[in-house]
Amino acid sequence: MLEARAHQQLKALLRGEGAERWPHHLTLSRLVARSLRRADHTLVRLSPGTDPSWWIGLLVPLALSDDPVALVVSDAQRQRLLQRDCPRLAAAGLELACWQGRQAPVEARIWLLSHSELLLAWRDGLLGKRQLVIPEAERLAGQLRQAMGVTLEPKDWETLRQALPSASGSLLDLHRRLSARILCHPRQPDLAVPISAEEEAPLRQLLQLLSPLPEPWPQWLATPSQRWTSWAQVDPTLLQWRLYRQPLDPLAELSGLLRGRGAVLVGELGGAGSEASELPADLGFAPQVSVALGDPPLSDPLPLYAPLRQPLPNSPLYGQHLLDQCRRLVLGQAQLTVVLLDDATLRRRLASGLAAEFGRRVDEESTAPEENGVICCRWSWWLEHQERLPHPGQVVVALLPIASLEDPLTAARVAALRQEGRDWFRELLLPEALNRLQRGLAGLRRQGGRLAVLDGRLRGRSWGRLVGAALEPWVELPRLLPG
């Protein structure tokens, strides 16, 4: 039976390597093997920040199974798989032959697909009865949103005008009006400007009367007007802009994607309420097996420094408070310090203030820090690069990772929930923030270090206790001692 073979092979591989093992390798391997054999739906929830070594428990049953599978991976996952994991399996006598390309022959057992290739294969009916295996399911919605989205570059307007010379004047006029609206919009920190359906309507009405349209205009015109949103990203140096259009809930747009075929979803989904933890019924995914594989209990609680009566982020005193506290935290620290802050203006101001005190030790989003350096960075940057950076001695959460309503996509998703009368903060923003927080601090938990939270909302808002619960176990540092 596949479960027994996968169990034995994985156990022998791990014993031969002699490395420290993730405690749920064999359990995950048996779950995946069972799902492949039964062609059912299985959801495996990992703790946020789980060590990526869990991958090998997923891949061993894939290498042993005879059933055709589509393995859906991001670019980073694909690189890891082909350069690291496949040679690792080959050294243990297991062959993981992966077919790549827009179309796979029937005899290809494992078809390696990106999220955009998955959409094309499904829409073209090329998946057949292949089972789907989707690791990092917590990023599924975001990856599919990008894959389904349409981006209009400045050159696409010129291509459209050249393809339709009879409408050149009208297109130039529409582009001029949109440019005036976008470039005159109050400058946002991320240079993103929301575009309403009413502002797009004249362009959409004109294009419906014209044909043929060069790519990607037919894709843009085919996007629904409901449950999608548009925004422009401004390049201030060239006074140009790109137009983005993406769905608010991409999983709800893919009715029946997982219906009629086996599927295994594995991801750092945490508890209920995270973005990918509750998949819409229209997707066709109704897990027969749902298992949570948590990390073992920590023997030592996380030292947490979070002073009482801190100013809130919208206070005029907050910037100076942040600089003063970070100076005290960095002083005497012999290891790397990471300061997490999404507000670009505040982050650069803080980095400049710390650099005036500590010199070249301080850098912004550097992948080659000094041993006792200070990295000021965005949450997304830290989540992407933390595995390749030295282990920090302390992490400073300057701002909790709650998405800003200044982001057009976030604002549109919130507006959709508001229209339905739902609690958009506790259903959307807070669960996503807690998941991001736990993933960003997982290394600190495993290898030790100090955490400082300088966001006054931790103690000043009623939902702050949920943040505290997500950080458990921790022990409070009532006063700041040298690190």
Q: Are 409 and 231 in contact (CB under 8 A)?
A: yes
The pLDDT value recorded for residue 182 is 93
Q: How many CB atoms lie within 10 A of CB 307?
A: 17
Buried b (16+ CB within 10 A) or exposed e, 365-376: eeeebbebbbbb
- Residues facing 362 on adjacent strands: 374
Q: Are 388 and 52 in contact (CB under 8 A)?
A: no
Report the C-alpha gap between 153 and 71 in whole angstroms: 31
Query: Residue holding tokens 């400082």?
Result: 452
Query: 392 is written with which tokens?
Result: 């920090």
Report the C-alpha gap between 269 and 288 in whole angstroms: 17
Q: Are 327 and 357 in contact (CB under 8 A)?
A: yes
Secondary structure in 3-state letters for the chain? CHHHHHHHHHHHHHHHHCCCCCCCHHHHHHHHHHHHHHCCEEEEEECCCCCHHHHHHHHHHHHHCCCCEEEECCHHHHHHHHHHHHHHHHHCCCCCCEEECCCCCCCCCEEEECHHHHHHHHHCCCCCCCEEEECCHHHHHHHHHHHHCEEECHHHHHHHHHHCHHHHHHHHHHHHHHHHHHHCCCCCCCCEEEECHHHHHHHHHHHCCCCCCCCCHHHHHHCCCCCEEEEEEEECCCCEEEEEEEECCHHHHCCCCCCCCCEEEEECCCCCCCCCCCCCHHHCCCCCEEEEECCCCCCCCEEEECCCCCCCCCCCCHHHHHHHHHHHHHCCCCCCEEEECCCHHHHHHHHHHHHHHHHHHEEECCCCCCCCCEEEECHHHHHHHHHHCCCCCEEEECCCCCCCCCCHHHHHHHHHHHHCCCCHHHHHHHHHHHHHHHHHCHHHHHHCCEEEECCCHHHHCCCHHHHHHHCCCEEECCCCCCC
Question: Mind listing the pLDDT tens digit of every residue in the chain (483 residues)?
Answer: 899 999 999 999 988 887 667 889 999 999 999 999 999 999 999 988 788 889 999 999 999 999 999 999 999 899 999 999 999 999 989 989 899 998 899 889 999 999 999 999 999 999 988 999 999 898 899 999 999 999 999 999 999 999 999 999 999 999 999 999 999 887 776 789 999 999 999 999 999 999 899 999 999 999 998 899 999 999 988 889 999 999 999 988 888 888 889 999 999 886 544 444 456 666 778 889 999 987 766 667 899 999 988 999 999 999 999 999 999 999 988 999 999 999 999 999 999 999 999 999 999 999 989 999 999 999 999 999 998 899 999 999 999 999 999 999 999 999 999 999 999 999 999 999 999 999 999 888 888 899 999 999 999 999 999 999 999 889 998 877 554
Report the C-alpha gap between 31 and 44 in whole angstroms: 8
Q: Are 400 and 457 in contact (CB under 8 A)?
A: yes
For the chain, the domains span 2-145+250-293, 150-222, 302-476
The pLDDT value recorded for residue 391 is 92
Fold of 302-476: Rossmann fold (3.40.50)
The pLDDT value recorded for residue 299 is 60
Does the fold of domain 302-476 match that of domain 2-145+250-293?
A: yes
CATH superfamily of 2-145+250-293: P-loop containing nucleotide triphosphate hydrolases (3.40.50.300)
Query: 25 is written with which tokens?
Result: 């390798």
pTM beyond 0.85: the answer is yes
The pLDDT value recorded for residue 272 is 40
Q: Is 287 left (phi over 0), alpha (psi -120 to 50) or beta?
A: beta
The pLDDT value recorded for residue 284 is 72
Sheet holding 192-195, edge to edge: 150-152, 240-247, 228-235, 192-195
Measured at the alpha carbon of residue 240, what is the angle toward residues 237 and 243, in degrees to the nearest 5? Answer: 135
- Residues facing 133 on adjacent strands: 71, 264
